[in-house]
Amino acid sequence: MSKQRLAVMVLAAALILPVTSSNAVESSANVALTSNYIFRGQSMSNDNMALQASYDIAQSKDSGWYAGAFVSMFDQGRGGEDGLETDIFGGWKGSFGAQSKFGWDAGVIKYEYQGANNVKGQLEIFGGITYETAYLKLYIGDDDNQPTNGDYTYLDGGASFVVLNDIDLDLHVGHTSRDFAKDYFDASATLKKKVNGFDTAVSLTYESLGDEMEFLVTIGKSFDL
């Protein structure tokens, strides 16, 4: 079975099956401009600005099925290509009991790149546990790009805290393990605040592969649909 077909089947199950028992859904959209598109410690925009948008739909905020899409500009830098990255995802989350603060989350993500002939998409499955605002997730993927073709895993952990009035702090650390290249870890700290109805964020990121630290600013607008 092709990875594309598997992704479509999982997303269809996430969207269609629960709707037969419940018509109540929550949906939202977001548009944002970031000074640097950082993904797992690596710049996906050649350290340039990127315009992004997303759409999310869920059975509820805390449990049940969810799905969505994320679109961003990407740039491979000198000698490379640029275009649009499109991510489609779906999954299911819940708790380990009616009164439990522990939960679980599992799903699939399909990455596609339009406008770049030498960048192929990839498929990831993931699963993890949550405790209030903290989480630990494992992503397993297959990279089809040459010469980096091979399997990889990404272990992702983080938590969110309220540090001041209306200011949140998101902390994250991740570790990438690959068949085809050196392992590395990344970390980030992000301060977020709503200002005049806009979502603002400042982030500091680090990745060990190139021993690089990046500072970025993001401003966006969210819409409940």
pLDDT, tens digit, for every residue of 84-134?
A: 999 999 999 999 988 899 999 999 999 998 877 667 788 999 999 999 999
Question: Quick one: three-class SS letters along 65-126?
Answer: EEEEEEEEEEECCCCCCEEEEEEEEEEEEEECCCCCCEEEEEEEEEEEEECCCCCCCEEEEE
3-state secondary structure of 205: strand
**The two three-digit tokens of residue 74, written as one number:** 């990407």
- Report the candidate in 143, 210, 138, 146 with the shortest Cα–Cα distance to residue 178: 143
| Nearest-5° Cα angle at 50, 33 to 72 | 100
Sign of the alpha-carbon dihedral angle for 56, 11, 127, 173: negative
Give the best-scoring range by mean pLDDT among 12-16, 21-25, 108-112.
108-112
Q: Which residue has the higher pLDDT, 188 or 99?
A: 188
* pTM for the predicted model, two decimal places: 0.85
Q: Which residue has the higher pLDDT, 74 or 35?
A: 35
Percentage of the residues of the chain whose pLDDT score is greater than 90:
68
- Structural domains of the chain, ranges and CATH numbers in brackets: 3-224 (2.40.160.40)
3-state secondary structure of 170: strand
Does 52 have pLDDT greater than 70? yes
- Residue 26 CB neighbour total at 10 angstroms: 14
Q: One-letter amino acid identity for 188?
A: S
